[in-house]
Amino acid sequence: MKPAEGTDISVIIPNLNTPIVPKTVVSILSQQSQYSFEVIVIGLDEDHLLDEFQSKIKFIDTEIPVPPGKARNIGVSASKGCLLIFIDSDAVAQPDFLNLHFQKHQNHQAHLILGGSVTFPGENYFTLSDNIATFHEYMSHLPQGEKRMVPTVNMSILKENFLLLGGFSDLPASEDTLFSLNAVKKHFKILFDPGIKVEHLPPRSSLKEIFKHSYKLGYYSNFSNSIIERYPFLKFLTRSNIWLTIFSPIVALLIVLKILFLEKLPIRYWLTLPLIFFLKCAWCVGTSQKYRRKVPIDC
């Protein structure tokens, strides 16, 4: 990889007044990296939490809230690095985060999207359940290997390849899913490396918030679209409340069994499985609703 304008890495962080964004920025700025890097934060900072970093980061004020995918696209447009690394404003990077992302790209083929693992604290039961329900395929105990997608909370790609793929969509959620599906169609390799870690610290801590989050993820899910396209006979599941009532718990149960037996969820997290079941039911309901509404919902 050849650095653009003398910069190896651009770290892109979308932000909508996230209270822990200073921790995110500090976790990047404190990296002992052998590569040159810049930090670009895009969005809103109405509480001026980023003021102390003015001389160390590039902050792009969008003045109004914008979807995370659009914010990342804006950040990429202002970037100078040859490697783009994406992290969310409610995540904290491990000390060797930048080095591991960069070195992995040096050792692999050019058409690569790389994702790392997601860890999380366990103090709040609702937050922990939400984290596992969202990131169970990207936990640090899982083996390295190819994936169908990797989330933007911990993702990297060469800038030239990002531009080739056309960037992220403006969806309010699941824009990383659509990005990955597009990449697979263009023969990109999507690789998961559990050794590259971030800790995810979302603000959702109540039952209402996490159910709303799961419903939203289901509503904007793109994998359901690809499955329906591949198996058109399954579309009947999206047309009737009766079928939805029957099949949502079955689908949710299958996902929970996959988490438990195929993904080998560590025993210390088993207490979250009952709530994860209901969160996956909410995801299924959201997935079905998007086929029955003509306008997007506001979650």
Compute the average pLDDT of residues 131-145. 98
In order, the DSSP letters of 239-250 are T-HHHHHHHHHH
Residue 225 has pLDDT above 80, yes or no: no
Identify the pLDDT of residue 287: 78
Identify the pLDDT of residue 4: 45
Whole-prediction pTM value?
A: 0.91
- In 94-212, DSSP assigns E strands to 112-119, 145-146, 154-158, 189-200
Residues in the chain: 299
Structural domains for the chain? 9-123+138-200 (3.90.550.10), 207-290 (no CATH)
pLDDT one-digit tens code per residue, 184-202: 999 999 999 999 999 999 9
Residue 5 has pLDDT above 70, yes or no: no
**Which helix or strand (DSSP H or E) is residue 182 part of?**
helix 175-185
**Which helix or strand (DSSP H or E) is residue 28 part of?**
helix 21-29
**CA–CA gap between residue 92 and residue 261 (Å, rounded):** 29
pLDDT bin (cut points 50, 70, 90) of residue 299 is very low
Report the chain's mean pLDDT, rounded to a whole number. Answer: 90
